[in-house]
Every structure is written in structure tokens, then in C-alpha cells.
Amino acid sequence: MQLKGKTALVTGGASGLGAASVRMMANAGANVVIVDLNREAGVQIASVLGPAARFVQADVSDPLEVENAVETAFAAFGALHIAINCAGIGDPQRVLGKTGPADLDRFAAVIRVNLIGTFNVVRLTASAMARNEPGEDGERGVIVNTASIAAFDGQVGQAAYAASKGGIVSMTLPLARDLARHGIRVVTIAPGLFDTPMAAGIPEEFKAALAAATPFPSRFGNPVEYARLARHIVENPMLNGEVIRLDGALRMPPR
């Protein structure tokens, strides 16, 4: 799918991987709907991008709020062709900590945002994409989801995060198979260590050790490198039903 003139909806689009994807899509000539809870940052990015961008404040796990974002895409640009799911949270806790068992509500919140939120956006954007006129090969839309290498190498304290991202990995192929008859592709990116707001709280000495453990390049990823892969997925019609690790060959240690 060529990006020029198409419309993309990007969740978590006000920062990190999402913001880099927003800019990548816009610079390639696409219209962009930025979905995020951070109104100030989202409005700022949209104002810089100008008429080709809109911001919608939304919780990705809320059906009505995501429906509003999809409707905004149609109202502003007449269609929706691409969805990039970058919204996510992390809340580490051990199964048994110093104060007792893990807090179930905290576990459920991570699943709700990361896994249920992703599926909510997938189902609603796919419904919109299915109305598009088919392009080359009958393609109507592309959905890019974001997992994590924690889905494969979850560390101590990451049970909730790893479970939520593992769910995204596991549903990639069935989503692609479900949506194939509508001409909609689904691909998941599983990033490693990236320089995003989620990584901002990691102590510098621990960040340095993790970067050194990455075979090559031995550093944290730049969000634009995620955005480049997202763009390639959109533009390459044979990428479908696959999970792509983007991690410099890193395999996370237990801690």
C-alpha cells in the first residue's frame, strides 16, 4: 500500500514509538489521526503537522472513544486505511512481593490496556477498512500491532506485561486469517529496548548494562527505527500474519 493520500490511525501517537510513526506517515504523504490520553502532547504534534493531522483523546480499551477516533478519520479524511497500535503501559510487580501476593487489579489494568485495547482498536479499524475500495491484490487495509520481546523473554516482575504482549503475538496469525477475506493485513512488531518514555524510569547504570547486552548495535533503539519498519510493513504486501523482532539480537536475562 502506498502511503500518499492514505489515512493512518496511530494509538499512543503522542510520544515514543507512536509519535515517530505519526511523523513517518505524515512525511510520506499520509493523513494521520493521533490517538492518545495525553492531550497536550497530542495537540502539539497535530498542530505542527497541520491540516493532514487530527488529535483524538481516547482510552484504547474504551469502545466509544475508539469509535469516535475512527469517525474522526472519516469526517476529516473520508476513509481509514492503516492502524498502528503503539499505546501501552507497564506496571512491574512480583507474583509474591514483600507485602504479599501481586495486586490483581494492577495485573488486570495492564491486560486491559495492552491486550484488550489492541484488540478493540483492531476490530473497530478493521470494520472501517473493510468499506474501502480494494486496491492492488484486493488490499483494503493494514494493521500494525506492537508486542515486545518481553513476550518471549519476560523478566522478573513482568508477568502482566509479558502476558499482555504474548497475547498480541498469539493473536497475530488468527487476526490475519480472519481479515484476509476483507483484504486487510495484520503484522506485529516486537521491539527490544527503545529510547521511549517507558524506558525513562530505568536507572542509567541498568540501561547501560542492557545496552551492552545487545549484540549489535549495542544501544537502545531509536523510535524512528520502529517507524521505518512500520512503514515497510504497510508498503510490502507480502508481509502478513508475522511477528518481527526488532531488537538487535538481544535476548533478555532474567533480571
Catalytic residues: 161
Spatial neighbors of 34 by CB under 8 A, at least 6 apart, are 10, 13, 14, 18, 22, 42, 45, 46, 53, 54, 55, 56
Cβ count near 167 (within 10 Å):
18
Triad 79, 83, 86: Cα angle to 5°: 150
Structural contact between residues 60 and 66, judged by C-beta atoms closer than 8 angstroms: yes
Helix pair 16-27, 39-49: axis angle to 10 deg: 20
Q: How far is CA 17 from CA 33, 86, 88, 177, 196, in A?
A: 15, 6, 10, 26, 7
- With CA atoms as reference, report the closest residue to 190 among 236, 144, 157: 144
113: Cα separation from own chain's centroid: 11
List the one residue out of 247, 234, 75 whose CA is nearest residue 150.
247
Distance of alpha carbon 25 from its chain centroid, rounded? 14
Strand pairing report for 82-85 and 141-146: parallel
